[in-house]
Amino acid sequence: MKIIAKRLAAALLTLIIGSLGEAALADTPTNQSFSPDPQIQKVAEAYAMDAVDFSGKQFGIKLDWSDASIADVEKALARMNSSYIGANPKPTDEQVMSFAKAYGSYVGEVYRRNHGGEWGMVTLGEDRFPGLRTTAGRSFWPWARAFNRITKGSEDNIADYYMALSKK
């Protein structure tokens, strides 16, 4: 499990460095493919539970797997962004990624449970990273969005992101 988590983290760091995390939803460009992977789903489910636990303990927020709970995820990530901005020195990308994986997995799991879809590896050009494919065949990568919300701020609002995903 640790090897899978390290591979996923490495793939996601490549994604972030390559600025692929900017896209909220891809309409399956010709150079994109998706490979379902049940192991990624298991990892995402575990990370999502970490977000539920951490939110309750740290922020007094109860995440209940509903679409409406994504607004609470936004509140938690906004608080993390405030801490990140004020931090000196800044947390490393790996430290931020541990929270991004948890909250991004929660967002992905809420989507999967409430709207369908599956976890797997998205290949975009030469880059591979964990993400989801919707039942309509579109791919998205919530770990990168959560990372961007923590590090960049409100322009990467996770509730707006989720609302856009839910409408597609």
Cβ density class 99-119: b for 16+ within 10 Å, e for less: bbbbbbbbbbbbbbeebebeb
Classify residue 123: in a domain, yes or no.
yes
Classify residue 140: in a domain, yes or no.
yes
Does residue 89 have a cis bond before it (omega within 30 degrees)?
yes
Classify residue 34: in a domain, yes or no.
no
Residues 6 or more apart from 86 whose CB is under 8 A from it? none
Q: What is the CATH number of the domain that holds 86?
A: 1.20.120.1090
Side by side, the strands of the sheet bearing 127-133 are 32-36, 118-124, 127-133, 139-140
Mean per-residue pLDDT pooled into runs of 10, the chain (168 residues): 45 40 46 91 98 97 98 98 96 97 98 97 89 93 96 97 89
How many structural domains comprise the chain? 1
| pLDDT the model gives residue 127 | 87
| pLDDT the model gives residue 126 | 86
